[in-house]
Structure 1
Amino acid sequence: MSGRLSVDVAIIGGGLAGSSAALALRGMGISVALFDKGFCGAQASGVNYGGVRRQGRPPEQLPLAARAAGVWTRLRGLIGIDGEYERSGHLKLAQTEADMAALEAYAETVSGYGLDLQLMGGAALRKRFPWIGDGMVGGSYCPSDGHANPRLVATAFPAAARRAGAQVFEQTAVVGVTRQADGFWLETATNLRVRAGIVLNTAGAWAAPFAESFGEPLPLSRIYPSMIVTEPLPPLMDVNIGMEGGAIYARQVARGNCVIGGERGLVLADPDFSRPSSDGARAIMNRAARFFPALQHAHAIRFWTGTEGATPDKNPIIGFSTTTPGLIHAFGFTGAGFQITPGVGEVLAELVRDGHSPTPITAFSPARFRPARSPASPGLTGAQDQNNQQKSEQREGFPS
């Protein structure tokens, strides 16, 4: 599509963060154009493991995760399908006493966040989950966590946004964004020019160049999680499994297939793409067979990898640009975005409309990556600068 278009909000990136924001914005009556260089939900949002968990997240992420948990419980009414969401619970295993001590310390740290973690030693673990192999010291169980099918969820959100009136442009790469007196102008590879009052940068692993084009270099690397799915098996895993230290994660779907991860893919010459490695696949399957004996003779029928954006502190970047009024970032979920991004979309819509959100996101501000000012340099101190930014954020919402 070529020509010109004017909307209140333009969103770059059709993953779950961008598409859920588009849906929430339409619910507020705000006009939206959503752009993806490929197909919405085809990148990290649609090829991840599918864990819907709060357990294991740092405390600063838990209010946002709680916000997202409320979205998951009303998924069918929101996007028209349940996305195979199952509140199975999430069990995190400990292989050593040090791992168990880490789980106990985490449970103490997050005791006020409503996770209701249940700690159990090795004997209790084997009694409750007899399909887990010997050698585990214990575990931590979060009954309210679960899992879902990312391929279904990541395509259903943009479809729901389109039904709600959002203009969704797939295979339409945004090749340039400029800020002018009358707002932002976006140029696409299809020669469509778009004017927008506010821009959301939700471009995932491809988001950093858009930030840098506005004088805001933000640290973003890429990771390539690798997954395996087995043939359908008799019912075995009745919980979503993780492990302290990240050696493996696994879940079983209603059809009986087990989805297993814990390794990284091999990046190709074009860093947008990767492929599973044979060594990594064997390592995952050998681990799975050791930890879950019923999988010792299971056939792996499919392998895949995905491309995800990662930050140095493993927290996402969410909030107003520190350089450009009207630009809002949401990317860098570092392999843990599937559960929280539906909540991120609602937060982004509130930032657009109100200039702030009741869900605390200060810890994710892009300002945390700004270089510290020299004490001898003129201008605001770091604390004053942050205060000024917070005040600015509250003025930058969509005009009422």
Structure 2
Amino acid sequence: MECVVIGGGIIGTSTALELAERGLRVALCEKGGIGQEQSSRNWGWVRISRRDPREVPLMAEALRLWARLSERTGRDTGYARAGIVFTCADDKEYDQHERWGRHLQDYQLESRMIGAGELRNLLPGSNLEVKGALYTPADGRAEPQKAAPAIAEAARDRGAAILTECAVRGVETTNGAVSGVVTERGFIACKAVVLAGGAWSNLFCGTLGLDLPQLKVINTVLRTTPVENGPDQAVWANNFAIRKRQDGGYTVASSMSNLVDIVPNSFRYARDFLPAWKTEWRSLQFRLGGRFLDEARMPTRWAMDEASPFEYCRVLDPKPTKKSSERVLANARKAFPVLEKAEVAQRWAGYIDVTPDAVPVISAVDDVPGFHVATGFSGHGFGIGPAAGRLMADIVTGRQPIVDPRDFRWSRFSDGSKVAPITGL
């Protein structure tokens, strides 16, 4: 093989597809099944609106890729260009959203501020009491349970080896450079490795002596049974977020609340994440529980001929918090009475991997030639996934990158750069 991709989420599968389409011999190794962790547990939003400005150029490319992704893969991804509405409760939020809109001035993408009257016309039957909204018709939605598997199958069609229940235990190097990977099924020789391991990336990087500042947050989501005459656009408000599903139901989640398990790495990276915690503390609920001991007991080193933690835990499957999801659903029903007819069909939760600046790493790692990382998407990975895969493939193959990758470089954590979220977007 010329390249091994570690991780079968939307980032890993998109990277594998791009490399296979360029004629490279590529294997994707996934410890569980394709898209079984956060890539199938997210909201399904495909948005450029309200993103960190550093992600906007890459997301603009992603919107173009999503538009023909079902055709390209030959499979249904559930993609629809339906628009997204970010409501503004007051003048301050309206001004913030209006300022953010300037980041799209260089792109031919429809996005505009609308007042309360136009919002009522856009969302008939709603009871939203807000100043207005940022409305981006160019945004869309897709089905998380369908997208990553469709991309993986398309990569297989083009010659990639898709290996599930095949955990990579570690990377072998020769003279300091990548020479292969050891999996639970055996050795695969290769010259390049792409780690797209999501919430597992920090642990894996540690096996190479690399320090990736990364923590996890938990978001609880539910889906409803189908209802008629609900909003076609995805809607974000201060106390809920909803997205119409392909089956006519809705994905409902909290727009402003995430659960954070206190674990050993919380203390290890406390200084790195302090700027983010200062700006996001209102949306974070910290919890000390069994996860602390689980991660404290988890080995950080192991022999290549013995089972790794990736084999003992194939899928991260946190328990959803029913109380909070009920509160969020009640808020959504108050804003959209049509949802009173909808029943809860399923609840789930997922681990979101985050970096100190809430921006991903999409980069080669100079300390280990041939090793690359595409992770830390901080809850923004699903929508940007196809373009992130293309950028990662550009870096691996040495092509001119589709966007400037500087903001996503690995070295920003050690080169003296200020690493923090951009506030006041």
The answer to whether structure 1 residue 123 and structure 2 residue 139 are counterparts is no
2:60 pairs with 1:16: no
CA deviations over 1:342-365 (Å, ceiling 9, x no partner)? 111111111121165131121011
8 Å Cα contact 1:14-1:35 kept in structure 2 = yes
Aligned twin of 1:258: 250
* Cα distance, 1:296 vs structure 2: 3.2
Tell me, yes or no, if structure 1 residue 84 matches structure 2 residue 78.
yes
Q: Secondary structure in 2 aligned to 1:185?
A: strand
Measured on the aligned residues, the alpha-carbon RMSD in Å equals 1.9
2:337 equivalent to 1:345: no
Mapped to 2, the partners of 1:179 and 1:145 lie a distance apart of 43
Structure 2 length as normaliser, TM-score?
0.81
Q: How do 1:139-178 residues align onto structure 2 when only pairs under 5 Å count?
A: 139-178=133-172
SS of residue matched to 1:82: coil
Contact 1:178–1:184, Cα closer than 8 Å, also in 2:
yes
**Cα displacement string for residues 71-129 of structure 1 (whole angstroms, at most 9, x for unaligned residues):** 11111222112311110011111122221111111113432233331211112211232
Instruction: Give SS of 1:141's match.
Output: strand
Query: Using a 3 Å threshold, how does the CA distance of structure 1 residues 241 and 310 change in structure 2: closer, same or farther?
Result: same
CA drift at 1:46: 1.5
Query: Normalized against structure 1, the TM-score is what?
Result: 0.86
Equivalent AA in structure 1 for residue 197 of structure 2:
A
1:18-57 pair list within 5 angstroms: 18-57=12-51
Matched, 1:224 2:224: no
- Structure 2: segments with no counterpart, 5+ residues: 262-289, 296-315, 418-425
Cα deviation code 1:133-167 (max 9, x no counterpart) = 14111101111111011101111111111121111
The aligned runs of 1:299-318 (5 Å cut-off) are 299-318=343-362
> Is it true that 1:75 corresponds to 2:69 in the alignment?
yes
AA matched with 1:188: T
Match of 1:205, as an amino acid?
A: A
Partner residue of 1:283? Answer: 327
Q: List gaps (5 residues or longer) in structure 1.
A: 1-6, 373-381, 383-400
Residues in 1 aligned to 2:260 and 2:408: alpha-carbon distance in whole angstroms: 29
| SS in structure 2 at match of 1:346 | helix
Matched to 1:348, the amino acid is: M
Q: 1:274 aligns with which of 318, 322, 325?
A: 318
Q: Secondary structure at the match of 2:106?
A: helix
Q: Tell me the matched-pair count.
A: 364
The amino acid across from 2:136 in the alignment is C
Percent identity of paired positions between Structure 1 and Structure 2: 29
Q: Check conservation: 1:54, 1:115, Cα contact below 8 A.
A: no
- Indicate whether 1:238 and 2:282 are aligned: no
Please give the alpha-carbon distance, in whole angstroms, between the structure 2 residues aligned to 1:265 and 1:278. Answer: 13
Q: What SS is found at the alignment partner of 1:176?
A: strand
**C-alpha distance in 1, partners of 2:67/2:128?**
35
Q: Note closer, same or farther for the CA distance 1:164–1:69 as it changes in structure 2 (3 Å cut).
A: same
